[in-house]
Amino acid sequence: MAAIRLGDKAPDFTADSSMGTINLYDYLGDSWGILFSHPADFTPVCTTELGTAANFKPEFDKRNVKMLALSVDGAASHNEWIKDINEVQNTTVNFPIIADEDKKVSTLYDMIHPNADNNLTVRSVFIIAPDKTVKLTLTYPASTGRNFYELLRVVDSLQLTAYHKVATPANWEHGNDVVVSPAIPTEEAKGMFTKGVEEIKPYLRMTPDPTT
C-alpha cells in the first residue's frame, strides 16, 4: 500500500473496536477526526499516551474533532488494557480503540514500517477533515511518545486556515498573529483583514488572528 499523502481521501474501513464495530466515515460524520496508532497493548509509552489523549478529549470535542486510536491487538485485550490506563493515568478512556489483529487497517494506512518492526505499527497520526481528506500525517518511532499540545495546535491551525486566507507562522498558537496568504495583494488584504496588515516584506504580511 502506498503512503497516504496530504489531500488524499482517508481510506474508509469497518473494524471491531473497544466500543463495538466502527465504520470510519459513519463514526466521523461531519466532524474532523484524528486517528492515531499504537504499537501494541500493555506497552508503557502507549499507556501514557492513551491516558493523555483521554484527558485531552474535552479540548478535541470543543474543536469538533473525533478521536480514534488503533492497536494490532484485539478488542478484548484493548478492554483489559483500558482498565490499566484508567487506573495508572487517573482517567477514563472515552473513545474507541480499533482492534486490528489482521493488520487490515494498519496496511491500509501504511502504519507498519518493516525496517522499524515487521509486526508492530509505528506511532502514526492522521488528521482528517469533514470532507474526509487527510490534512496532516505525522510518524513517530515506537520509542517516542506524542505531544498532544502540538496535535491541538495543529488542529487549531488547520481549522483556521481552512476558513480564512491565512497561514500560521513558526511556533504559532491560537490568538497569535498570522501570515496573510501570498496570493492576496497587500491593498486587497488591508480591505479583507480589518484589524490591520503589517507588511514586513512584500511577501511577508502579518495580521491579527481573524477569529479572536
Amino acid at 6: L
pLDDT digit string, tens, across residues 41-99: 898 998 999 999 999 999 999 999 999 999 988 999 999 999 999 999 999 999 999 99
The tens digit of pLDDT for each residue in 8-40 reads: 999 999 999 999 999 999 999 999 999 998 888
Per-residue pLDDT tens digits for 183-204:
999 999 999 999 999 999 999 9
pLDDT of residue 147: 95
- Tell me how far apart the alpha carbons of residues 83 and 94 are, in angstroms, rounded to a whole number: 12
Residue 166 · residue 195 · CB < 8 Å? no
* pLDDT at 175 (0 to 100): 93
Beta bridge partners of 173: none
Q: What is the pTM of this model?
A: 0.90
| Cα gap 84→130, rounded to integer Å | 33
Q: Beta-carbon neighbour count of residue 206 at 10 Å?
A: 17
**Architecture of the 14-144 domain:** 3-Layer(aba) Sandwich (3.40)
Enumerate the domain spans of the chain: 14-144, 164-207
- Give the catalytic positions in this structure: 46
CATH homologous superfamily of domain 164-207? Antioxidant, Horf6; Chain A, domain2 (3.30.1020.10)
